Structure 1
Amino acid sequence: MTWRDIVDQIAWLRATTYEVEELTGGLTNVNLKVTHPGGTCVVRVAQPGSELLAIDRDHEHHNSVAAATAGVGAGVIDYLPDAGLMVVEYVDGRTFTDDDLRSGDHLGRVAAAVRQLHGGPRFEGDFDMFTLQPTYLSIVTERGFRLPHRYLDFAPQVERIRRAFAVRAEPTVPCNNDLLAGNLIDDGAKIWLIDYEYSGNNEATFELGNLWSEAGLTLDQLEELMAAYDGAVHRHRVARARLWGLMAKYGWTLWGSIQDSVSTFDFDFWGWAMEKYDRAVAEFDGPDFDRLLDEAAGDA
């Protein structure tokens, strides 16, 4: 089936003259930029196997609409669940790279956009890496997918993080949960947050810690990001974000293992997973782990 065959499933586009361009960057979707007489849109094409990654397409649609209502997500134009298609507005701007975030020039604006999302309408569904990680692990072990050396050895550390977080539970807010640099677009006036496949209500510190981890920001930049979001540096919040960033690396490692086994994309998913896992191991084994647990459970 060609891209045009796929786009032709959308009745109102089929009735027009349009041009299709495949966009780069997606690892669980194919994103097609469609230019038609009325403007430009993006057709998101779900790929087989995404159900193993705990992606709920109905939640993605609902939450994309909510993010647009919050003013930071692209507007949703159409949704064809049986065809695995969602049509959203095309955001004309510059897609961020890790280097853009590492420069530090945009962290305040990024924090403002994240706060705007978190202050918007409640999402459908919840996202909890303490639940998702064992779900991924069951899939990996039951199907005989690749598991990194020592992966299971860190279960006690994960439980320690869970217990530390339980000392002072934080409220959940609508989160994207996948804010890597490529999901931030700067149109010159504002920063848009796109791609709500993993969206759900979650702790704000997961969102920020995951962003810190994905972009490879420094610890000073994490503090800057947290200060911009919270209005001041709070040690327990920074520690919580760091530990969520660690949990994100640990959990997304298994995402990479699943994709390495089932995805048809030409991408080194195992190398991607191991880069995250190696950084997670360094943090589990590192000198700051015990202190971060204490700080996360504190109130300073």
Structure 2
Amino acid sequence: MTEAALDRLACLAGRSWRVSDLPGGLTNRNLHVVTDDGLDLVVRWALGDATLLGIDRDAEAANTALAAEAGVGAEVLEYRPELSLLVISFLRGRSLEDSDFADPGVLQRAADATRRLHAGPRFVNDFDMFARQAAYLRTVRAQGYWLPLGYDDHAAAWADVRRVLTETAPPTVPCNNDLLAANFIDDGTAAWLIDYEYSGNNDPCFELGNTATECNLSVEQVEAYVAAYFGAVTPARLARVRLQALCSEYGWSLWGFIQAAASPIDYDFRGWGLQRYEKAAATFRGPGFRRLLEEATGG
């Protein structure tokens, strides 16, 4: 990112500003820009091949604006697809870490933010992890990318998960679909959600399951999170969230293997993907897998 590119932004025209890097981002470089006249914003510079990863940058920008309308996201100030730049307002607070979810207050605020998003305006696109997993797997095979031995051994079990979750699917809601800890901004009073690259209307339990596995929530924390979101825990809700956590692990692991081969970012994407695959494989092979399928049909 050069100063010349930032100078092309309309929101910075005629202003003096200073810029610093923000941590995080595996498909973006995020810049914190503060102007001398008080404008405080984040510039998201998209990196890598969005096509390989199935990212729709136009949908990302539109859904970011809709999340702000729902009262849970940052305001979109400018979108410049020709520059691969999305400019949003800076949210004051701190990015969460996995360990923060041990605090019941943090967990409750995260659930509240998720519920606000889900109650907001519908997004401009849909998200289906089963379709995305199939697309990612086609990409891996077509490009000859590395895949762990045994990945395809779970195809029949994956089909069973798809059948159960599809037959019992609730109405879809606007979801972020990538709520790892760092995508929660917490100010001590409320939480906010950022990064809508993979957003789309989806099963709300995928959102909860994705957070549960990405934030490494304990069994007890998953139950507390489900209770905080729904108001009560039932065996069917809990099973559905756990199956959607499995979907997150099995599907997103392929994202990691694609990134390992194609991303310009220096990061252990293969290790990232393998960690998620191994969690999924343990669930597929585990003694409780069939019971999860049965419980998820209980309404």
TM-score tier by shorter-chain length is over 0.9
Query: In structure 1, what is the equivalent of residue 247 of structure 2?
Result: 247
Query: In structure 2, what is the equivalent of residue 137 of structure 1?
Result: 137
Quote the RMSD (CA, aligned, Å): 1.1
| In structure 2, C-alpha distance between the alignment counterparts of 1:177 and 1:209, rounded to whole Å | 10
Query: In structure 1, what is the equivalent of residue 150 of structure 2?
Result: 150
1:245 is displaced (CA, Å) by 0.4
Q: Which amino acid aligns with 1:10?
A: L
Q: Which amino acid aligns with 1:153?
A: D
| In structure 2, C-alpha distance between the alignment counterparts of 1:189 and 1:52, rounded to whole Å | 38
8 Å contact from structure 1 (residues 62, 124) kept in 2: yes
Q: Which amino acid aligns with 1:20?
A: V
Query: In structure 2, what is the equivalent of residue 3 of structure 1?
Result: 2
| In structure 2, C-alpha distance between the alignment counterparts of 1:114 and 1:228, rounded to whole Å | 10
1:6 is displaced (CA, Å) by 2.3
SS of corresponding position for 1:106: helix
Query: In structure 1, what is the equivalent of residue 171 of structure 2?
Result: 171
1:176 is displaced (CA, Å) by 0.3
1:83 is displaced (CA, Å) by 1.2
Query: In structure 2, what is the equivalent of residue 192 of structure 1?
Result: 192
User: Gaps (5+ residues) in structure 1?
Assistant: none
Number of aligned residue pairs: give it.
Answer: 298
Query: In structure 2, what is the equivalent of residue 65 of structure 1?
Result: 65
Query: In structure 2, what is the equivalent of residue 15 of structure 1?
Result: 14
SS of corresponding position for 2:78: strand
1:11 is displaced (CA, Å) by 3.0
SS of corresponding position for 2:43: strand
1:102 is displaced (CA, Å) by 3.7
Query: In structure 2, what is the equivalent of residue 160 of structure 1?
Result: 160
User: Gaps (5+ residues) in structure 2?
Assistant: none
| In structure 1, C-alpha distance between the alignment counterparts of 2:104 and 2:218, rounded to whole Å | 10
After the TM superposition, which residues 34-113 of structure 1 pair with which residues of structure 2 at under 5 Å, given as runs? 34-36=33-35, 37-113=37-113
Give % identity.
49
8 Å contact from structure 1 (residues 226, 233) kept in 2: yes
8 Å contact from structure 2 (residues 169, 203) kept in 1: no
1:7 is displaced (CA, Å) by 1.0
Query: In structure 2, what is the equivalent of residue 30 of structure 1?
Result: 29
After the TM superposition, which residues 224-243 of structure 1 pair with which residues of structure 2 at under 5 Å, given as runs? 224-243=224-243
| In structure 1, C-alpha distance between the alignment counterparts of 2:251 and 2:38, rounded to whole Å | 42
| In structure 2, C-alpha distance between the alignment counterparts of 1:12 and 1:286, rounded to whole Å | 53
**TM-score normalised according to structure 2 size:** 0.97
| In structure 2, C-alpha distance between the alignment counterparts of 1:144 and 1:156, rounded to whole Å | 23
| In structure 1, C-alpha distance between the alignment counterparts of 2:79 and 2:238, rounded to whole Å | 38
8 Å contact from structure 1 (residues 102, 216) kept in 2: no
| In structure 2, C-alpha distance between the alignment counterparts of 1:186 and 1:171, rounded to whole Å | 28
- The reply to whether residue 120 of structure 1 matches residue 135 of structure 2 is no
- Runs of 4 or more, structure 1, over 4 Å off, are none
String of CA shifts for 1:107-142, please: whole Å, max 9, x gaps.
Answer: 111111111000000001101101000100000000
8 Å contact from structure 1 (residues 3, 20) kept in 2: no
8 Å contact from structure 2 (residues 42, 90) kept in 1: yes
| In structure 1, C-alpha distance between the alignment counterparts of 2:288 and 2:133, rounded to whole Å | 23
| In structure 2, C-alpha distance between the alignment counterparts of 1:5 and 1:289, rounded to whole Å | 54
8 Å contact from structure 1 (residues 7, 14) kept in 2: no
| In structure 1, C-alpha distance between the alignment counterparts of 2:199 and 2:275, rounded to whole Å | 24
- The reply to whether residue 278 of structure 1 matches residue 278 of structure 2 is yes
**TM-score normalised according to structure 1 size:** 0.97
Q: Which amino acid aligns with 1:193?
A: L
Q: 1:104 to 1:282 in 2, by over 3 A?
A: farther
8 Å contact from structure 1 (residues 60, 199) kept in 2: yes
1:243 is displaced (CA, Å) by 0.5
| In structure 2, C-alpha distance between the alignment counterparts of 1:47 and 1:259, rounded to whole Å | 11
SS of corresponding position for 1:43: strand
8 Å contact from structure 1 (residues 18, 34) kept in 2: yes
String of CA shifts for 1:205-257, please: whole Å, max 9, x gaps.
Answer: 00000000001101111111111111111111110110110111011110000
